[in-house]
A and B are shown apart, each in its own frame.
Chain A
Amino acid sequence: MSRRRFPAIFAALFVAAAACQPGGGTGGGDCVVGVSWNNYQQPRWAKADEPAIKKAIEAGGGKYIRADAQDKEDVQLQDIDSLINQGAKVLIVLAKDNKAILPAIEKAKARNIPVIGYDRLIEDPSVFYITFDNEKVGTLMAQEVMKAKPKGTYVVIKGHKADPNADFLRGGMDKAGLKDAVAKGDITIAYEEYTDGWKTENAQKNMEAALAKTNNKVDAVLSENDSMAIGVVAALDKVGLAGTVPVSGQDGDEANLNNVAKGLQLVDVWKDAFALGETAGNAAVQLCKGAKLADLSAPSTLKEHVAPEKGAKAQPFTTPNGTTVQSIVLKPTPITAANLDLPISLGWITKDKACAGAKPDVAACK
């Protein structure tokens, strides 16, 4: 008896397995969204972007699958192959390199799989671009810092040279009036340098060189992100300038928001990654349902502090190389000691972590 039962069980398993094959059969509505992550080097990806994307996809009845390229261009190409083979109907790609990624985009195009470029630009007209206004991030940094120090000696710590964001941000700073202030002679930029790999230690070394070069006469520092701002503040602290020299940053890292409360960093431009992930996941679901790129729109649940300045509908966006892509561009939020309560109330950071050792006059920490 029992011996005879085995073949039956195997047969049943086999049928079940065949039915489960991704892409197999015509079971409509299986909206598999493949997300190719460049890396998890910065805290935000796993903490906010990923869960928000996943939640939005699942809310739309889709399925989330992922791959992590560990900061390597070639691994990312393989990852995208693998996601396609796993039956992804829409791809969301956080590209390590905006050009090296193109062969993978071609493959997706050949199979009619729409691609969303997440947070980083991909130079291809068929790729939908969802991001924060990076130039605006630079503008907000410079605005806040120049409000605090309208005149004096500035240091600019820029990001990785091959990352187009580094130059977007720098361009945004000029739009805030930095260029004019330099031309008028109000502001002197004593030191400006790219930072290999956006690394904290390299930013610290650059800042130390800047201090040595200027004999510690630095009035303000524009650092293009938070992990570099940690290195900048450490270098300033060694010469007794931390807390008196305004420093900028972006990403809303916990240690940096805490530094804002402590007065060590003036402004942390925060890109609410929950909102970005929600927008991307929501757009992926719309694409699954057959929406055209130009018809996509941001979810109606987006809050005021991130709402796109040009409205919820997809807008054409011209890249630095002159390609026009469809895009949704969210608005970044500058966080200073005055509005530190916003990331706390949205659950981005706990009050304990944000407020440890805070200066007594920070309202959010009272």
Chain B
Amino acid sequence: MSDVPAALPQQTETRARPSLRELVAATEIDLRLFGMVVALVAIVLGFGLATGGRYLEPANLITLSVQAAAVAIIATGMVLIIVSRNIDLSVGSIVGVVAMSYALLMTEYLPRILGFENPFTWIIALALGLAIGGFIGGLQGFIIAYVGVPSFVVTLGGLLILRGLVWVMSSGASVSGLDPTFQLLGGGPEGSLGGTASWIVGAALCAGIVWLIVYNRRQRRKFGFPLRPAWAEVLLAGAGIGVTLLLVKIANDYLWPAPLAERYARENGITVPPGGLRIESGIPYPLLLVLVVTLLMAFIATRRRFGRYVFAIGGNPEAAELAGINTRLTIMKTYILLGVLCGLSAAIAAARLNGSTLDVGVGYELYVIAAAVIGGTSFAGGIGTIPGAVLGALVMQSLAYGVSFMGFSSPVQNMIAGIVLIVAVGFDSWNRRRAG
């Protein structure tokens, strides 16, 4: 860090008092993403005020985030689909098929082969489910990319076919009673990391943030790129660490509910202290999955050849093809990836329900597409970010949860979701036009 002073004059000598806009620009923050974070915080605090602070209790914040997890995970994949100028309307039905597959595999097929309570049941079921999701996605992707049927048509067909398939698979019955380990994927206090492990994950994330900033700075210096001012680097690192630790703190402040803690104490022969047993829940597994998927997908989208190809195709399909990109294979891969993500999302949905019903996943396509679009993905192609889509999903769920929490009925919730969708995208286009 010895060269930090050298970098400073270079940035500040042009003007003595830079404007706010220039200061923000110096941090190189993605303004759209930053705007989303501000909007999310405003919504959460707004509901907090409106409910006298009760909305801000850890139980509520954790519950609504877990409720958003299934949609958020698919939305990360939907970004790549929309960026490459396609669409997938079948995601909800894929979730339905895979969720029903998990339920049937774990209640009927696998126990026949492995017996009940086999420790491998859940992992085999999960692997098969992800494979089924990937296969369905790949099949649709193949028809879109190689046969040349428009994606809207193929996936609209998929939506209908697969929803029918859910019915056929279970002959119309709900299936309940999954593997206990698998159920942990659905979150809840038992399906969470616990206090200590959550702090470890938090610390690892903080270390990651610092490493990323230092690494970026080194790389920039190595290739002679302009450096961010030191204050901006420190500010970013500080903000990143602060937010991470705050979120871990919230997750850890969510204690095991008394009945569950008592059952745990009974089963493990612990005597409950007078004030009740205090067990910190920590980060729920579904949110951990969202975190991992977001980081992985953002890495794939921005740092891998496949991701850059997707954006190139979205920006200009003809140019991408002329540049030697195998556009068909790339498109098919985006659908395989989305299918696998649907499989993961279905695991969360099925684990949450401890089973599957005929309507699991119905309507997801709308929420997923809305999340991606609210998160700044453009239907014109070539533009979109993974973290934006995850934030989009969180924005929608915090609104829906807040509106329901305040006692508005479900039709009003739908109206508000629709208005937010149009306002968010409208504001975004206006902003983009203004920026020229």
Contact = CB atoms under 8 A, between A and B. Distances in A.
Interface stretch (B4-12, B166-174, B209-217, B300-308): B166-174
A201 B410 CA distance: 13
Interface in A175-226: 193-197, 199-202, 204-206, 208-209, 211-213, 215-216, 226
B57 A231 contact: no
A161 B188 CA distance: 29
A364 interface: no
Contact of A205 (B67, B258, B260): B67
Contact of B176 (A161, A197, A215, A258): A258
B233 interface: no
Nearest to B103: A255
Contacts of A61: none
B362 interface: yes
Given A240-B257, A240-B259, A357 B357 contact: no
B57 A43 contact: no
Contact of B174 (A46, A205, A227): A227
Contacts of A356: 177
B189 interface: yes
A196 B412 CA distance: 11
B359 interface: yes
Contact of A255 (B59, B176, B191, B264): B176
A253 B357 CA distance: 11
Interface in B400-421: 401, 404-405, 409-411, 414
Nearest to A239: B257
Interface of chain A, main secondary structure = helix
Contacts of B353: 200-201, 204, 230-231, 234
Interface in A150-179: 161
Contact of A230 (B259, B264, B357, B404): B357
A40 interface: yes
B257 A227 contact: no
A47 interface: yes
Interface in B173-194: 173-177, 186-191
Contacts of A213: 54, 60, 405
Nearest to A201: B360
A256 interface: yes
A238 B175 contact: no
Interface in B324-383: 349, 352-355, 357-360, 362
Contacts of B67: 205, 208
Name the interface size band of chain B: 35 or more
A76 B155 CA distance: 24
Contacts of B218: none
Contacts of A227: 174, 357-359
Contacts of B262: 240
B63 interface: yes
A43 B173 CA distance: 5
B220 interface: no
Contacts of A258: 176-177
A226 B174 contact: yes
Contacts of B60: 209, 212-213
A255 B360 contact: no
B221 interface: no
B263 interface: yes
Nearest to B260: A240
Contacts of B264: 240
B355 A197 contact: no
Contacts of B186: 234, 238
B167 A40 contact: yes
A237 interface: yes
A234 B360 CA distance: 14
Contacts of B414: 196
B349 to A, nearest CB: 7
A227 to B, nearest CB: 5
Nearest to B175: A255
Contacts of A255: 173-177, 355
Interface string A37-61: 0001111011100000000000000
Nearest to A256: B174
Nearest to A43: B172
Contacts of A323: none
B33 to A, nearest CB: 27
B57 A212 contact: yes
B362 A199 contact: yes
A206 B358 CA distance: 19
Contacts of B259: 216, 239-241, 244
B59 A215 contact: yes
A215 to B, nearest CB: 7
A230 B355 contact: yes
Interface string A224-262: 001100110110011111001000000001111011000
A237 B354 contact: yes
B176 A230 contact: yes
B401 A254 contact: no
Contacts of B360: 200-201
Contacts of B188: 237-239
A194 B409 contact: yes
A200 B349 CA distance: 11
B258 A216 contact: yes
B62 to A, nearest CB: 8
Given A209-B63, A227-B174, A194 B357 contact: no
Contacts of B401: 205, 209
B226 to A, nearest CB: 48
Contacts of A194: 409-410
A259 B258 contact: no
Contacts of B411: 161
A201 B171 CA distance: 20
Contact of B410 (A193, A237, A259): A193
A234 B354 contact: yes
A357 B187 CA distance: 23
15 contacts: A43-B174, A43-B358, A193-B409, A201-B349, A204-B353, A205-B401, A209-B63, A211-B59, A227-B174, A230-B176, A230-B357, A238-B190, A240-B256, A240-B260, A255-B177
Given A205-B401, A255-B175, A255-B176, 18 more contacts: A41-B358, A43-B174, A199-B362, A200-B360, A201-B359, A209-B405, A212-B57, A215-B59, A216-B259, A237-B354, A238-B186, A239-B189, A239-B259, A240-B259, A240-B260, A254-B174, A255-B174, A357-B177
Interface of B: 54, 57, 59-60, 63, 67, 167, 171-177, 186-191, 256-264, 349, 352-355, 357-360, 362, 401, 404-405, 409-411, 414
| A-B residue pairs, 6 tightest by C-beta | A240-B260, A238-B188, A255-B176, A43-B172, A255-B174, A240-B259
